[in-house]
Chains A and B, each alone.
Chain A
Amino acid sequence: MDLILTGSPPIHWALAGAGIGLITLTLLFVGNRRLGVSTGFENICALVVHTPYFTRKSVTGSHSWRLPLLAGLLFGGVLSAILAGGWETTWGLGRFDAQIGWNNGGKVLWMFGGGLLIGFGTRLAGGCTSGHGIFGMSNLELPSIVSTVSFMVAGIVTTNLIYRVIL
């Protein structure tokens, strides 16, 4: 299957997995940091929200590394698009367009609703695919194994409901 962005197949999973593993280990060995993306959303929130939760030291003290990491993720996407033959905006959503076919306004609402669940859910769970799924599981931490099983099962149920039951 081709990627939506490039129209060509992805890199091999073993190469991608090895790269992510090396990034995780480098982040720890060089930076003494535990990989995790979703906490970075709290850092962004803390720039504008000043309630006690967002002014605690673990949030404000990690701006200096979490914000650059998040900026890098964004920049990596830009670079990937440029290398694929040129950066351009798109509303293309693959299978969603083919089988659900909502217009752009509908997609905005769909994505906003999903985003709310991701923002609230990852912070309630204390991590996401990177912090729980990769770092926590690699470190054999029980809360991470529980969280990972929970979000994988919920994702499998939801996608199957959407594409196999409803559609």
Chain B
Amino acid sequence: MALYLGLGTIFGLILSRSGAADYNYIQGMFLLNEFQLYGIIGTAVALTAPGLWLLKRHGKTLSGRPLSIELKPGHRGNIVGGALFGVGWSITGMCPGPILVNIGEGKLYAIAALAGVLLGAGAFGSLYPRLQGPFRLPALQIGTGEG
């Protein structure tokens, strides 16, 4: 538990001080005016991709357990859900991690965003059986993908 709390805290500090949790930088990214966020995501992927390849080749965690990476399923929800999320990201200037970071920073409007997120996620889960057909979603036990 300390590991996750610690990693989350460092992640939060980085998001807070990099512009990833800043309304102006998110709008700058979507207006294609600011390189900052593209640089962040690009660098993270450029480092994580070869790191993942090496870890998968190694095949074990630090404690020697077999490495398990659950792949996300593909379905129509990727495009439609992604689009809904993109609109929400633009409106609020926050993606999921930064919503929590912004609340921590003392930005009061972010609490309203979190309330909306929890209601939206709750509605999604409760409507899952009805969304399964139209969006070709996997069985309920599998879900749309974790992450």
Contacts and interface: CB of A to CB of B under 8 A. Distances in A.
Contacts of B147: 34-39, 126-128, 130-132, 135-136
B48 to A, nearest CB: 4
Nearest to B39: A13
Interface in B93-132: 93-97, 99-110, 112-126, 128, 131
A107 B113 CA distance: 10
Contacts of B86: 121, 150-158
Nearest to A16: B18
B92 A73 contact: no
Given A17-B43, A58-B146, A131-B145, A32 B48 contact: no
Contacts of A90: 106-108
A159 interface: yes
Nearest to A3: B22
A166 interface: no
Interface in B30-74: 30-32, 34-49, 51-52, 55, 61-63, 65, 67-74
Contacts of A122: 81, 85, 96, 121
Nearest to B1: A68
A127 B145 contact: yes
A114 B72 CA distance: 25
Interface residues of B, number: 123
Contact of A16 (B40, B67, B92, B97): B40
A77 B67 contact: no
A76 interface: yes
Contacts of A89: 106-108
Interface of A, helix, strand, loop or mixed by DSSP: helix
Contacts of A65: 1, 4
B88 A116 contact: yes
Contacts, number: 522
Interface residues of A, number: 132
Contacts of A150: 78-83, 86
A147 B78 contact: yes
Nearest to B116: A115
Nearest to A97: B23
B40 A112 contact: no
29 contacts: A1-B34, A13-B37, A17-B41, A19-B14, A25-B47, A25-B55, A36-B146, A38-B96, A41-B121, A54-B122, A72-B6, A72-B9, A73-B11, A73-B12, A73-B101, A77-B12, A114-B88, A114-B113, A114-B116, A115-B113, A116-B88, A118-B99, A118-B113, A123-B125, A128-B85, A135-B147, A136-B72, A138-B51, A150-B86
- In order of increasing CB-CB distance, the 10 nearest A-B pairs are A76-B12, A72-B8, A131-B147, A115-B116, A77-B104, A17-B43, A119-B120, A126-B145, A36-B147, A154-B86
